[in-house]
């Protein structure tokens, strides 16, 4: 499956240079044909592929993010995002606090990420508690990820233990408890999108991340 072409990336480059409503609406048909439709089709196809996963994930046009930006409280008054993005989630909706897969397409290529992104301390608490109470189980999560050449991103982390976990500063999973996002990432160059290989790569990421996505009860 494909549908993404060089025109898909050219549209996003041109949008960055002409980021206003007049230009976007004049070129909306190209956006729909070269970006919105194939991206929605990709999410639909991945939903079918992941229907038999340990935690099925699904998405489609309804789980894509809108292109227009909320500029009310931003110094950047650009009317539109210069990327296309969407989700695959257990509920098939964007209102999801559990582990999920995020897809991102921009003018240079893009990426996919699987796991828990920027959850609140309340949402993270049961996952952090599970790291302590079922430490061996989280060891297994890390081992399976490592065997698949995946690693949890470490950039989005607290400098100190979160509130309620200070007594566990010496725990073997202390550095992971400090994480505000628990995600693994897959870079997706342009050729992955234009060749259709993006589907295999995202499916592989989702399946490799299943031990992480199913480790704790869904964060709510």
Cα 143 vs. chain centroid, distance in angstroms? 21
Q: Which long-range contacts (CB under 8 A, 24 or more apart) does 26-30 make?
A: none
CA–CA distance, 104 with 58 (Å, rounded to integer): 16
Domain 6-213 sits in CATH at 3.30.930
At 125-156, the pLDDT tens digits run: 999 999 999 999 999 999 999 999 999 999 88
The ranges assigned to domains in the chain are: 6-213
At 168-211, the pLDDT tens digits run: 999 999 999 999 999 999 999 999 999 999 999 999 999 999 99
Residue 216 has pLDDT above 80, yes or no: no
3 and 41 in contact (C-beta within 8 Å)? yes
pTM (2 decimals)? 0.93
At 16-43, the pLDDT tens digits run: 999 999 999 999 999 999 999 999 999 9
Angle (nearest 5°) at CA 65 between 61 and 71? 150
Band of the pLDDT at 1, cuts 50, 70, 90? low
Residue predicted with more confidence, 132 or 117: 132
């Amino acid at each position: 499956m494909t549908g993404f072409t060089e025109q898909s990336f050219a549209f996003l480059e041109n949008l960055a240079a002409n980021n206003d409503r007049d230009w976007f609406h004049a070129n909306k048909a190209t956006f729909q044909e070269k970006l919105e439709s194939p991206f929605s089709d990709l999410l639909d196809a991945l939903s079918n592929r992941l229907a038999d996963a340990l935690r099925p994930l699904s998405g489609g046009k309804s789980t894509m993010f809108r292109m227009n930006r909320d500029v009310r409280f931003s110094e950047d008054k650009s009317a539109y995002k210069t990327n296309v993005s969407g989700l695959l989630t257990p509920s098939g909706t964007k209102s999801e606090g559990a582990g999920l897969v995020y897809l991102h397409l921009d003018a240079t290529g893009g990426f996919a990420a699987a796991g828990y992104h920027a959850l609140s301390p309340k949402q993270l608490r049961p996952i952090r508690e599970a790291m302590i109470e079922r430490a061996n189980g989280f060891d297994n999560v890390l081992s399976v990820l490592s065997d698949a050449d995946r690693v949890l991103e470490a950039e989005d982390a607290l400098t100190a233990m979160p509130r309620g976990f200070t007594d566990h500063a010496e725990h073997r999973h202390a550095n992971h408890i400090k994480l505000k996002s628990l995600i693994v990432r897959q870079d997706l160059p342009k050729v992955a999108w234009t060749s259709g290989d993006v589907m295999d790569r995202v499916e592989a990421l989702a399946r490799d991340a299943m031990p992480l996505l199913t480790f704790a009860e869904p964060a709510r």
